[in-house]
Amino acid sequence: MKKATKFLTMTLAMVMTVCTLTACGGAAKGNTLTFGTNAEFPPFEYVTSNGAIGEYDGIDMAIAKQIAEDNGMTAAMENMEFDSLLVALQNGQIDAVIAGMTATDERKETVDFSTPYYTATQVMIVREDSDITAATDMADKKICVIQGYTGEICVQDMGYTYEAFKKGTEAVMELVNGKCDVVVIDSATAKKYVGDNEGLKIVEDPGAFESEEYAIAVQKGNTELLDKINKSIDKMLADGTVNELAVKYTEEATAE
């Protein structure tokens, strides 16, 4: 019996050591700040060979890395579907979400958002020969959106029917292949797709699409982490870091 107890204690100690080393059992372990993202959204997050955080690069990834560093921590990134991010945050799988995520009133009901760090708007990507010049022109067109993005909500609110895709690249391929007429998506990402594909252009309609603010999400009530994140963001906004990153990654992502 004694032997068994000793064995048990040793095993337990070993398991605990492994847990601290690998951060198993959830987020906020030791010195790691675990962010969730959906790396399908250049120039904010995309997969590359040698990114700011492992294989992940983009404006958000550089910001996340800096936030962790400012707080003496190391940033880790978990890549998942955009739709799963807020669920993963709420069940503690990740500490924060950084994903070009618009701080909408609806999302604010379930999570808390940091100081906004970027302003964007929805735009329409169309083929160069398209006769779409305003959002109302989409009424009788085949519209593509990305599932769970604010672009989907906008088109829904306008009362138009649409098809939703999992990835921006999939929707853009439909457009390039003539299977849909317009993709509604965030401005900076749209620019990247238009730069990558021949024969596409962007149509803006500021009267129809309100401006959106990107912010980092934390669990409701996690003021301790939110304060740390906000201090870091405020600093990066004030000293021009965010601007520099936006310029750097917009150029880089387009040149790739």
Give the separation between CA 116 and CA 30, rounded to whole angstroms.
27
Give me the least distance between CB of 228 and ligand ARG, in Å please: 22
Q: Is 232 in the site for ligand ARG (CB under 6 A)?
A: no
- Helix-helix angle 187-196:168-176, to 10 degrees: 50
Give the DSSP H or E segment for 52: none
Give the separation between CA 39 and CA 42, rounded to whole angstroms.
8
Contacting residue, 34, 66, 102, 121, with ligand ARG by CB under 6 A? 102
| Residue (99 or 218) nearer to ligand ARG, CB | 99
Residue identified by tokens 């305003």 is: 134
Give me the least distance between CB of 102 and ligand ARG, in Å please: 4
Length of the chain: 256
Give me the least distance between CB of 6 and ligand ARG, in Å please: 49
Give 27: exposed, middle or buried? Use CB within 10 Å, 0-12, 13-18, 19+. Answer: buried
Q: Is 38 in the site for ligand ARG (CB under 6 A)?
A: yes
Q: Is 112 in the site for ligand ARG (CB under 6 A)?
A: no
Q: Is 249 in the site for ligand ARG (CB under 6 A)?
A: no
User: Which one of the spans 16-24, 95-103, 136-144, 173-181 is the region binding ligand ARG (CB under 6 A)?
Assistant: 95-103
| Residue (19 or 246) nearer to ligand ARG, CB | 246
Footprint of ligand ARG on 133-192 (CB under 6 A): 149-150, 186
The residue among 16, 38, 40 whose CA lies nearest residue 29 is 16
| Residue (31 or 54) nearer to ligand ARG, CB | 54
Give the separation between CA 56 and CA 63, rounded to whole angstroms.
12
What's phi and psi for 45, nearest 5 deg? -155, 130
Residues that bind ligand ARG (CB under 6 A): 37-38, 40-41, 45, 82, 99-102, 149-150, 186, 212
